[in-house]
Structure 1
Amino acid sequence: MTSAETLNKLLQENNGYLKTSDAVAAGVSRTVLGDFVCKYGLERVAHGLYMSQDVWEDGLYVIQVRYPEAVFSHETALYLLNLANREPSPFSVTFKTGKNSAGLSKQGIKVYKVKEELFGEGIVEVRSPSGHTVRAYNAERTICDLFRSRRHIEIQDLQEGVKTYIRLKEKNIPLLLRYAKAFSVEKTVRQYLEVLL
C-alpha cells in the first residue's frame, strides 16, 4: 500500500478527518503527509488535525482532539446521550482542577473543573452526530453535574434531562444516588426522584 493509499484509508476510516499522529503511526512521514494535505486541499482545523473539504466540521471532535483530557459534560453530555433534543450552545466540558483551559474559555466554551478523585467517575465513549468517538459522562453522572451547577444551567434543560432520564429503560438509580452522594447533591436528587418516580 502506498503512502497516499494509507492516508486515504485513514481519511475514510475517520469520517473525513486525518490526524498527524495516526499518519505517523501508520508509517507515513510528515513530509509526505504535508504533500498529501496540499495536493488534496485538506483544511487544518487544529494542531495535527486536517479535514477533507467535503465533510461538515465536527466541533465536538475538534475539541476532543485539541483537548484530549476534556470530557463533555452538562448540557453537551445530555445531547450526546440523546437526553436533550437540541444541540447545546455553547458546548460544556469538564477538566480536572488545575488544568489550563483558558483557550477553551476564550472560544466561548463552558468549562467546569472537578477534583481529580471525582473526575474519572462515569466517563464513557459516545458518538458525535458526525460519527466520531468522543468522551462524555454517563447519564447518572450528567444528572448530578446538572444539579451541582444548577445556577449556571437553564432550568428547563435540567428538568427535561431528568424527565427523559427517568423514562429510560436502562437507568441506574442506585448508581445515580451513589454519584449524588459523592457530589453532595443527594438531598436535591432524592426530592426530584420522589416527585417523578
Structure 2
Amino acid sequence: MDDKYLIIKSIAENSDGIVTTKQIEDAGLNRTIIKNYVNQDLLVRESQGIYTLSSTLVDEYKLLQMRSEKMVFSYGTALYLHGMSDRVPRLLDVTIPQGYNVSRIKKDHPEVRFHYVRHEWWEVGLTKIHTPMGAEVILYDKERCICDLINHKKHIDMQLYTQAIKEYFKSSADVRKVLKYGNIFGIEEKIRTYMEVLT
C-alpha cells in the first residue's frame, strides 16, 4: 500500500472507520486520489464526501449522523442508546430544525424517521454518548427524551412510552432539569403529575 493510502487509513481509523473528503484535503492530499482507492476497493463511497475503509465494519449510527450536523438522535433511538429501552430500533429517529433540507438523506435512508422542531427548541438537551460499537454520536439527554414522549404521547408506541417513563421517574430522574425543559415546552404541569404518581 502506498503512503497516501496509509495516511487516509490512519485518519479513518481515528474517526470510527470513516473519512471525509475534507479530512483528506486537510491532510494535504488531492481529492482526485479518492476515486483510485474506490476503484481498488480500498475505500467505499457511502455518500457525497463520506468514505469508509472497505476492511472495517462501520457504525451505522455514526455514519448516518455524519450526513448532517443537524441530525440528532431522539425518541426511541435515543432511549435505546441511553439504555432506557431494550428494543433495538427498527426505524432510526432523528430530530432536525424546521425548514432544514434533508431530502437527499430521506431518499438514501428510508429507515430514518424525521421529527421537526422549532429552531430555538432544537438545541435543548443536546448531549453525546458512545454507541454499542463505541463511536461518539449526538443525541438528546434523558430529560429531553422524556419531554418529547409526554409532548407527543399520541404518536408513541405505548410499550416504549410506559417503559421509559416508569424507568426514568423511578430511578434516574433529574427533577430540576426535567421541570426546566417542561417549562420551555409548556408541559411542566403534566410532568409534575407523572412525578406525583411515579416517585
Shift of residue 23, structure 1, vs aligned partner:
1.4
TM-score normalised by the chain length of structure 2: 0.88
Aligned partners of 1:78, 1:84: CA distance in 2, in Å?
6
Shift of residue 151, structure 1, vs aligned partner:
1.3
| Structure 2 residue identity aligned to 1:115 | R
Query: What is the match of residue 92 of structure 2?
Result: 91
Does 67-76 or 28-37 show the bigger shift? 28-37
Deviation readout 1:31-75 (Å, 9 max, x if unpaired): 223323333432211111122233334332222111221111111
SS in 2 for 1:66: coil
Counterpart contact for 2:18–2:58, Cα < 8 Å: no
| Structure 2 residue identity aligned to 1:81 | H
Change (3 A) 1:167 1:25: farther
Q: How many residues align?
A: 196
The percent identity for this pair of structures is 29
TM-score normalised by the chain length of structure 1: 0.89
Query: What is the match of residue 136 of structure 1?
Result: 139
Aligned partners of 1:161, 1:69: CA distance in 2, in Å?
25
Deviation readout 1:55-105 (Å, 9 max, x if unpaired): 334332222111221111111111121211122121111111111233455
Aligned partners of 1:139, 1:43: CA distance in 2, in Å?
35
Q: Which blocks of at least 5 consecutive residues in structure 2 are unaligned? A: none
SS in 2 for 1:111: strand
Aligned partners of 2:64, 2:91: CA distance in 1, in Å?
12
Aligned partners of 2:5, 2:189: CA distance in 1, in Å?
58
Counterpart contact for 1:72–1:92, Cα < 8 Å: yes
Query: Structure 2 residue aligned with 1:165, among 165, 168, 173?
Result: 168
Shift of residue 153, structure 1, vs aligned partner:
0.8
| Structure 1 residue identity aligned to 2:155 | H
Query: What is the match of residue 155 of structure 1?
Result: 158
